[in-house]
Amino acid sequence: MSDLDAQTIAYARDTMLPPAPPPRREAGAVRWVRENLFSGPLNIILTLLALWLLWAALRDVLPWAFRGIWRADSVSECRTIRNELYGEGVSAACWGVIRSRWQQLVFGFYPSSELWRPPLALIVFLLAILPVLFANLPRRLLWLAPAAPFAIVWLLWGGPIWGPVAAALGFVLAWVVWKALASRGLLVAFLGALVVSVLYWAFLARPLAAALTSILPLGLTPVRSADFGGFTLSIVIGLSGISLSLPLGVLLALARRSEMFIISKIAVIYIEVIRGVPLIVWLLVAQVLLNYFLPRGTNFDILLRVIIMVTLFAAAYIAEVIRGGLAALPRGQYEAADALGLGYWQAMQLIVLPQALKISIPGIVNSFIGLFKDTTLVSIISLFDPMRMSSTIRATTEWGGIYWELYIFVAAVFFVFCFAMSRYSIWLEQRLERSHR
Amino acid sequence: MKKSVLLGTLTLAGLAGVAQAATLDDVRGRDALNCGVNPGLTGFAAPDASGKWQGFDVDFCRAVAAATLGDPEKVNYIPLSGETRFTALAAGEVDVLARNSTWTYSRDTDLNLDFPAVNYYDGQGFLVPRALGVTSAKELDGATVCIQTGTTTELNLADFFRVNGITYEPVPIANDAEGRQQYLAGACDTYTTDASGLASVRTTFETPDDHIILPEIISKEPLGPAVRHGDNDWADIVRWTFNALVAAEELGVTSANVAEMAAAPTENPEINRLLGTEGEFGAMMGLEPQWAVQAIQAGGNYGEIFERNLGEATPIGLARGLNAQWTQGGLLYTPPFR
C-alpha cells in the first residue's frame, strides 16, 4: 500500500490544518434552535403555535404586573394612582394589598409583637431535621431532634416554659423505666414505661408545671390557636402532618404486609377507610362531630384536631406508597436477611426498609407535596389558611374586588415550598443511586 | 404537651358527663363570649389590617358581651362557614351566632335553633348594568342570570320568574367572587343575591354608577342572631340586648350621651327603666342594672351601628329602608321596657 501511495501521491501535507469553526448555522444557539425547534414542518408549526400562545398569555399579564401599584391603602386609591400614572382603563395590578396585608397572609392574627416566634420555630424545626435530611452533617446534631417538638410547641403557643418541660419529662421517665425493666423482657418494660408515663401525664405533669411556674415564672405570651393563620397555619399543619405521618405510615405498611392476621387486617381496614373518604369529610368530622362526642364546654383545640386528622389521613397514603417500595424489593433480600439470622426488626431496619424507602422517595415526596397543598382545605372549617385569609381580606371595604394579586401571591409562596421539596427529593434520589441498572 | 392535652380531654370527658350549665354561667365562667361570625362579609364582619374584627354583626357581639360581662372586648370571634355554622352552635362551640343567618321555619323548628331578634331585614334583589336599559325586574324576560347554586336565592329566583310568567337562563356560580367576575365579564345580564350583598359588590366596581340595583326585592331574608333552643334565659338576654339598642335609637340615647343620661334619672321614665336608673330591670335577666348602658356604650345604638358599618356614609351606602324605626316607615319596633 505504502509503495503505491509513494508512487501515486506527489504531495502529502505533514501538518494538521487548524480546525475551522463550524458553519454558523451549525453552531451555538442557531444550531440548537434549528435542531430543537425548527427541525421539520410539524415542529415549525408547533413552535410558532407555542410562541403565539406564550405571547398571548403574557402580553397582558406582564405589563399588568409591572405597572403594579405598591403604595396604596385601598382599591380606590389604587385606581386613582393608576389613572394619574397611566390613564383611565389601563390595567394595572394593585400590589398594595400585599404590602398592607402581608402580615395577615403570612402570620394570620398572630400578635404583632410576637411575630419573631413562628420563623424561629421554623428554624428550630429545620435545624432538628437537617441531620436527618443530610447525612454528611455531624451525627451529634441528632440530639436536637427529640427536644425540638417541645421547643416548637412552646415557641408557637407560648405560655410558661414549664408546661412543655413537664410534658417532656414524661418521656424521660418512660425511658428510665424502660431501661430499668429491660432485663425482665420487652413486653414488661414496654408496659411499665407506658403505665408510668401515662400516670405521670394524667396526674403529675400539670401540678408539677404549675408549681415550677409559681417558683420561676419564665414564659412567653400565650397565643390562641384561633390566632394562627395564613402560611403559618399551613406550615404548622403541613410540617406536623409530614413529620408525624411518615413513621406512622411505615408502621402501617409493615403491619399490612405482616403475616399476623389481626394486625394485617386492622391495617387494611384503617388504610381503606381513611383513604376511601375525602379529606374534607374528615376535617368536618374533626370540627363538628367530635364536639358532639365530647361534653359541652370541653375545649379540645381545633388546630390539634386538624393536625391529628391530617396526620391520620396522610399516613394511610404514605403506607401505600411504602408498601409499593416493599413489594418492589426482590424476594431474595428478605431471604438473605433470614439466612443471616436477623430477627424481624433487625431485618427491617438493616436490609428491607433502607431499600424500600429509597424506592419510595418520589412517591413519599409526592404525598408530602399533596398534603402541604391540601392544608388549604381547612378553609372549609373556617381556619384562616391563605385562601380563606385572602377572601376575608377581600371582604373589607378597602380591598373588595381584588382577586389576582392575592391569588398570585399565595400561589407563588406555595410554589417555592413545593419546588424546594421536589428539588430535595431529586437530590436525595441521585445521592442514594447505587446503579443497579 | 399534646398527649397531656388529649389525656386531659379524655379525663374531662369522663368527669363532666352530661352536665349542662346555663349559657350565661358558661359565659361568665369563661369571662368571654364565644360569638360565631362570618369569616368575611363586607360590612357585616371582617378583620381590619390590625386583625381587629369589625362590622354590623361584630358590633352586636360586642353589645352582648358588654351587657353580660361589662366589657365589649371580651369576645372570642369564631368565624364559621355557611356549612358548619348551625352545627357549631348546636354543639356549643359558640354562645350566639351573629352570622347574617336568615330566620326560616325549618331552621327555627327542625334545627332546634331560636332566633331572638331580626337585626337586618334583607331581601333578594337584581343588579343590572345601566346600559341594559331595564328599570324593573319584570322586564328581565329571557335574561341570563348569575345565581349561586344550592342557596335559597336560587329557589326564590325560580319562583319569581314563574309567578310573573317570564323565562330566564341561569348561569351557575359558586361564590360572590365568581359572580362578580362573571357579571363584569358580561357572562350574565343580571346578578342576583341579597340586596345588601349586591350593594357591597357594586362598591367594588370601577364605575359603580354604571350599574343599578332594581327596585324589586323578591324575597324576605330576615337576618338575625341565633341561639340554641332550650336556654330561654339566654335567648332573653340576646333578644333584649338587641331591643335595648333599638329602643335607645328610638329614645334618642346615643353612645355620646348615654353616660350623662344614666348618671341621674331623666324626665322620661322609659329611658330611666332602660338605663337602670329606675326599677330593677337588669336583675330580672340576671344582669347588672347598667347592662343596657354598657351595651349602648359598646358601639352606640342601632342607628349608630348601622350608619358606621353599612350606612350612606360608608362605601356600601345602604339606606335604612326596612331597617328604619317604625316611626319612620321601617320595621324596627321594640316591645316596651316595662
Map out the domains of chain B as residue ranges: 20-121+222-328, 124-219
Do A316 and A174 fall within a single domain? Answer: no
Domain at A252, CATH number: 1.10.3720.10
Rg (CA), chain B: 22
Q: A299 and A193 in one domain? A: no
| Architecture of domain B20-121+222-328 in this structure | 3-Layer(aba) Sandwich (3.40)
Domain that holds residue A41: 23-57
Q: Does B200 touch chain A (CB under 8 A)?
A: yes
User: Can you tell me the distance from the alpha carbon of B78 to that of B67, in angstroms, rounded to the nearest whole number?
Assistant: 19
Predicted local confidence at residue A429, as pLDDT: 86
Residue A254 shares a structural domain with residue A377: yes
Tell whether the model's pLDDT for residue A137 goes beyond 80.
no
The per-residue pLDDT for A289 is: 74
Q: What is the mean pLDDT of chain A?
A: 88
For residue B141, count other CB atoms closer than 10 A to its CB. 11
Cα-Cα-Cα-Cα dihedral of A419, A420, A422, A428, to 10°? 160
Are A324 and A206 members of one domain?
no
Would residue A425 count as lying in a domain?
Answer: yes
B124-219 shares the fold of B20-121+222-328: yes
Q: Which of A180, A196, A220 is the last residue of a domain?
A: A220
A291 touches chain B (CB under 8 A): yes
The most confident of A143-152, A183-192, A335-344, by mean pLDDT: A335-344
Chain A residues in contact with B80 (beta carbon < 8 A): 382
Architecture of domain B124-219: 3-Layer(aba) Sandwich (3.40)
- On whether both A334 and A230 belong to a single domain, the answer is yes
**Average pLDDT, integer, range A29-40:** 85
- In chain A the first and final C-alpha atoms are separated, in Å, by 47
Q: Do A294 and B13 touch (CB under 8 A)?
A: yes
What confidence tier does A33 reach under pLDDT thresholds 50, 70, 90? confident
Low-confidence ranges of chain B (pLDDT < 50): 1-20
Q: Give A434: exposed, middle or buried? Use CB within 10 Å, 0-12, 13-18, 19+.
A: exposed
Structural domain tally of chain A?
3
Tell me: the pLDDT tens digits for A210-223? 888 888 888 888 99
Q: A168 to chain B, minimum CA–CA distance in Å?
A: 8
Q: Are residues A184 and A235 in the same domain?
A: no
Tell me the per-residue pLDDT of A47-103, one tens digit each, with 9 for 90 and over. Answer: 999 999 999 999 989 999 999 899 988 888 998 999 999 888 788 899 999 999 999
CB nearest B3 (choices: A112, A201, A384) = A201
Assigned domain for A364 exists: yes
Q: What is the ipTM of this complex?
A: 0.80
Q: How many CB pairs under 8 A join A and B?
A: 133
**A395 CB within 8 Å of a chain B CB:** yes
Same-domain status, A278 and A427: yes
Residue A134 included in any domain: no
Q: Does B7 touch chain A (CB under 8 A)?
A: yes
Could you tell me if A413 and A292 lie in one domain?
A: yes
> Looking at the structure, do residues A187 and A233 belong to the same domain, yes or no?
no
Q: Does B23 touch chain A (CB under 8 A)?
A: no
Q: How far does CA A364 lie from the centroid of its chain?
A: 10
Q: Which of A300, A382, A395 is opposite residue B42, by nearest beta carbon?
A: A395
Any alpha helices (H) in A340-381, and if so which ranges?
344-347, 353-374
Q: Is the pLDDT of residue A384 over 70?
A: yes
Residue A407 lies in a domain: yes
Q: Is B22 on the interface with A (CB under 8 A)?
A: no
Assigned domain for A168 exists: yes
Query: B23 CA to chain A: closest CA distance, Å?
Result: 10
Residue A275 and residue A296 in one domain: yes
In a domain, A68, yes or no: no
In three-state secondary structure terms, B163 is helix
Are B128 and B155 a contacting pair, CB within 8 Å? no
Q: Is residue A69 part of a domain?
A: no
Question: What is the spatial distance between Cα B118 and Cα A86, in angstroms, rounded to a whole number?
Answer: 47
Query: If you search the block for the grid coordinates 428550630, which residue do you land on?
Result: A124
Q: List Cβ neighbours of B247 (8 Å cut-off, separation of 6 or more).
A: B253, B270, B274, B334, B337
Cβ–Cβ gap A153/B9 under 8 Å: no
**Chain A contact probe: residue of B1, B5, B25, B26 with most A CBs at under 10 A:** B1
